[in-house]
Amino acid sequence: MHTSPNSKPWWQSCVVYQVYPRSFKDSNGDGVGDLNGIIEKLDYIRDLGVQAIWLSPFYPSPMVDFGYDIADYCDVDPLFGSLDDFDRLVRETHARGLKIIIDWVPNHTSDQHPWFKESRSSRDNPKRDWYIWRSPSLSQNSENLGGDGLPNNWGSVFGGPAWTFDPHTGQYYLHQFVKEQPDLNWRNPEVQTAMFETLRFWLRRGVDGFRMDVIAMTVKDKELRDNPTNPNASPNLPPNDIYGRLLEKYNLDQDDVHELIRQIRGVLDEFDDRCGIGELWGPLPRWVRYYGQNGDELHLPFNFRLMWVPFSAEGIRGSVDELEAALPPFAWPNYVLGNHDQPRLATRFGGQSQARLAAMLLLTLRGTPTLYYGDELGMENGYIPPEKVVDPQGKNLGHARTRDVCRTPMQWDDSPFAGFSPNEPWLPVSADFQTRNMNAQADDPASMLTLYRRLLQLRRETPALAVGSYSPVTVSAENCFVYRRTSDRAECIVALNFSAENRQVSLPNARRGKILLSTHLDRHETLETISLRPFEGVILALEG
Ligand code: GLC
């Protein structure tokens, strides 16, 4: 197996950078980012100091869910380029020593996929059973929020019932997202064979791994039983949020999904050194099972827990320690703080100072970090006027739920459309682009971008930070999270002040440490007791 200098597999020692292709760089002036745009910016990504990129979908798609509705798993949408462009992207990425991970959306296709067109054409079409069709239910069920006649009570994540009636054949089909995203029937072996082939298609083209979309949803309860009501559902949900009012008992995370994931892993293992990442939510004891019994499932089930714990030393430490304790010895941790579905981290955590602290946290914990494009500039949620909302979640469940806010164009410079495109982009550029952009930050010694570059550089050069062990250090300073990262050769301390006040932190056993990096980028003293400014974090090398 090809390993990195510190002899860990690449997916353990790398930092992943997520590119949302629509919003990264538009090379042909149509207002939408594309593969050639990404190629143009590969040097930027390499110089940032990450080792892998993950691309959200670029497949042919009617774009109802902006590419998460795939009409052909083995091609590139003309909006993004061509297969030749993709091959060039793979070559250029590898030539810079970076790995390339792509999105794979196994739970559902687009309703424009030829498989679904065939499936819906008649009840006896050979592909009928590739999707999940049910006749109208005759029982009247007053508890069914979606209404009578629906095969069960499930809701769509994007609002309304999870079933749509197809008058042509007189049956309903299941879709856990919008109705243009019908769920595949993974209990059908032909679906498995066909979908495994789509993985091989890209593996042969040289991709290093997949991020697998809502992988736990692929296998549903055999009998499609009703989900129980969620007693803790928020009373403020919009009326059509049926999904939010039910527990996810039968629509995902079924025990037999693990057999499927082992098979997917088998496909990856037909090739050298590839990596499987899964989008997975849910309680820790169930989540941890996705690593497999012996590491035979996913290399990295995405860990999103830090995104929503309270932004406090106690909240964050609690989440990290719980994860560390739950992982079997073979499992490697990972952390995600931002992605294309959640509010920008700088907005979520309360501002730029908090975002700097979060950057240090993310890049110094034990485990593979995933960064979301633009977070390295401190990009905040964009304002999208209600009439400009395009995200189906925002259109169906209300302005407050739109994910457009975190998908605004990358801010490269202060030219009219932030250097993203010469023409009006598909989503408005954020209002702060004239001051918050890559160009403005690149040579500023105190900028967020400089902080990310320094953090990434330090992580690369310091095995204790990249792959060392983790142990928390209990300190008396209120609202400070302090931990030790240790390798054979070195010992680092990371001290993070989550409070808006100054704090004094003493190093363990009265040892001295040299500050390697502060979130404020302005100090390098050697000391025993550190005075931390509000929301300041420091990384120290312990002496002796
Ligand atoms: C995942 C994706 C999200 C998409 C949904 C349906 O949660 O991250 O963007 O809308 O799946 O594919």
Answer with the one of 419, 451, 483 that is the final residue of a domain. 451
Q: Report the share of the chain in percent with pLDDT over 90.
A: 95
**At 2, is the pLDDT very low, low, confident or very high (cuts 50, 70, 90)?**
very low
Is there a single domain that holds both residue 12 and residue 80?
A: yes
Is there a single domain that holds both residue 442 and residue 483?
A: no
Is there a single domain that holds both residue 393 and residue 528?
A: no
Q: What residue's CA is closest to ligand 1, atom 5? A: 68
Q: What residue's CA is closest to ligand 1, atom 6? A: 68
In DSSP terms, 211 is beta-bridged to 103, 277
Is there a single domain that holds both residue 382 and residue 479?
A: no
How far, in Å, is the centroid of ligand 1 from the Cα of 70? 12
For residues 42 and 105, give the distance between their C-alpha atoms in angstroms, rounded to a whole number. 25
- pLDDT given for residue 191 in this prediction: 98
Tally of domains within the chain = 2
389: containing domain = 5-107+189-215+275-283+300-451
User: Looking at the domain assignment, is residue 461 inside a domain?
Assistant: no
| In the predicted structure, residue 489 carries a pLDDT above the cut 90 | no
Helix or strand or coil: residue 413?
coil
Q: Are 402 and 384 in contact (CB under 8 A)?
A: yes
* Shortest-distance atom of ligand 1 to CA 108: 12
Is there a single domain that holds both residue 399 and residue 324?
A: yes
Is there a single domain that holds both residue 409 and residue 521?
A: no
Q: Are 34 and 83 in contact (CB under 8 A)?
A: no
Is there a single domain that holds both residue 474 and residue 447?
A: no
- pLDDT given for residue 1 in this prediction: 44
- E-state strands within 37-189: 52-55, 99-104, 133-134, 163-166, 171-174
* Mean pLDDT computed over 164-190: 98
User: Looking at the domain assignment, is residue 460 inside a domain?
Assistant: no
| In the predicted structure, residue 401 carries a pLDDT above the cut 60 | yes
- pLDDT given for residue 142 in this prediction: 56
Mutate to test the pocket of ligand 1, among 61, 68, 402 (most ligand atoms within 8 A of CB): 68
Predicted confidence (pLDDT) per residue in 243-256, tens digit: 999 999 999 999 99
Is there a single domain that holds both residue 332 and residue 435?
A: yes
| In the predicted structure, residue 276 carries a pLDDT above the cut 50 | yes
C-alpha to C-alpha distances, 173 to 185, 204, 476, nearest whole angstrom: 11, 33, 57
> Which CATH number goes with the domain that contains 511?
2.60.40.1180
- pLDDT given for residue 137 in this prediction: 85
Identify the residue with better confidence: 509 or 27. 27
- pLDDT given for residue 179 in this prediction: 98
Least confident interval from 146-155, 273-282, 352-361, 375-384: 146-155
Identify the residue with better confidence: 339 or 508. 339
Please provide the average confidence, as pLDDT, over all residues in the chain: 96
> Which CATH number goes with the domain that contains 315?
3.20.20.80
Mutate to test the pocket of ligand 1, among 107, 340, 341, 342 (most ligand atoms within 8 A of CB): 341
**At 419, is the pLDDT very low, low, confident or very high (cuts 50, 70, 90)?**
very high
| In the predicted structure, residue 25 carries a pLDDT above the cut 90 | yes
Known catalytic membership, residue 87: no
Predicted confidence (pLDDT) per residue in 303-337, tens digit: 999 999 999 999 999 999 999 999 999 999 999 99
| In the predicted structure, residue 139 carries a pLDDT above the cut 70 | no
| In the predicted structure, residue 298 carries a pLDDT above the cut 50 | yes
Is there a single domain that holds both residue 424 and residue 508?
A: no
* Shortest-distance atom of ligand 1 to CA 403: 9
- pLDDT given for residue 235 in this prediction: 94
Known catalytic membership, residue 279: yes
Q: What residue's CA is closest to ligand 1, atom 2? A: 213
| In the predicted structure, residue 201 carries a pLDDT above the cut 60 | yes
Is there a single domain that holds both residue 205 and residue 336?
A: yes
**At 509, is the pLDDT very low, low, confident or very high (cuts 50, 70, 90)?**
confident
